[in-house]
C-alpha cells in the first residue's frame, strides 16, 4: 500500500495558525483612524461647549441690562448716553436717575468686558415707538470663528 503525501499540507497548516504582519498593520491603521475620529469629536464638543457657555453669558448680561432699565424707568432714555462713574451706592439712593443710568452702563460694560473675550456692549434707544424700544447688543470674539459673535435683545419698556 502506497501512501501519498501532499507536499502543500505542511505549509497550509502554517498559514492558518496566526496573523500575518500585513493583517496586523491594517488592523493598527483602522484602529488609529478610529481613535483620531474620537479625538476630533472630543475637541469639537469642547469647542461647542465653550461657545454655548459664552452665548449663555451674553444672554444673561443682556437680560441684566434690561432689568436695570426697567428698574430706572424715569431715566430710560439716558441708557443710550455715555457711561460714567458717579459712585452710586445703596441701589441708586445717592444718585439722580440720570446718574444711575450712566453708572449702570459703566458697571454693565465692565461686566461684559470681564465675562466675554473682547466683550463689548451697546444700547440703542428708539423713543419714537410706544412703548420705547431698546436694542441691547453684546458682541464678543468666539474662538474658531472669523467673525465676532453677537447677541441682540430687543425690549420695549
At 14 the pLDDT is: 53
Whether cis (ω within 30° of 0) applies to the bond prior to 132 is no
Burial 85-124 (b: 16+ CB within 10 A, else e): ebebeeebeebeebbbbbbbbbbbbebbeeebeebebebe
- Tell me whether residue 110 is in a domain: no
Separation between Cα atoms, residue 2 and residue 117, nearest integer Å? 90
- Tell me whether residue 69 is in a domain: yes
Separation between Cα atoms, residue 24 and residue 132, nearest integer Å? 72
- Tell me whether residue 6 is in a domain: no
Looking at the 3D structure of the chain, how many domains does it have? 1
pLDDT one digit per residue (tens) for the chain, 157 residues: 566 555 555 555 555 566 688 888 999 999 999 999 999 999 989 888 989 999 999 999 999 999 999 999 899 889 998 988 888 876 556 789 999 999 999 999 999 999 999 999 999 999 889 899 999 999 999 877 788 999 999 999 8
- Tell me whether residue 82 is in a domain: no
- Tell me whether residue 125 is in a domain: yes
At 24 the pLDDT is: 87
Q: What domain range includes position 31?
A: 19-73+115-156
At 105 the pLDDT is: 94
- Tell me whether residue 5 is in a domain: no
- Tell me whether residue 121 is in a domain: yes
- Tell me whether residue 97 is in a domain: no
Amino acid at each position: 500500500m502506497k501512501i501519498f503525501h501532499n507536499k502543500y499540507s505542511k505549509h497550509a497548516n502554517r498559514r492558518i495558525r496566526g496573523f500575518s504582519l500585513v493583517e496586523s498593520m491594517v488592523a493598527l491603521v483602522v484602529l488609529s483612524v478610529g481613535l483620531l475620529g474620537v479625538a476630533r469629536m472630543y475637541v469639537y464638543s469642547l469647542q461647542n461647549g465653550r461657545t454655548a457657555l459664552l452665548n449663555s453669558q451674553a444672554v444673561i448680561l443682556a437680560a441684566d441690562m434690561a432689568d436695570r432699565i426697567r428698574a430706572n424707568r424715569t431715566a430710560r432714555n439716558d441708557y443710550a448716553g455715555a457711561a460714567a462713574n458717579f459712585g452710586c451706592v445703596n441701589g441708586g439712593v445717592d444718585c439722580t436717575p440720570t446718574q444711575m443710568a450712566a453708572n449702570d452702563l459703566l458697571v454693565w460694560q465692565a461686566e461684559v468686558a470681564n465675562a466675554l473675550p473682547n466683550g463689548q456692549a451697546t444700547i440703542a434707544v428708539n423713543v419714537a415707538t410706544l412703548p420705547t424700544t431698546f436694542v441691547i447688543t453684546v458682541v464678543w470674539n468666539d474662538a474658531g470663528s472669523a467673525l465676532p459673535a453677537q447677541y441682540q435683545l430687543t425690549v420695549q419698556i
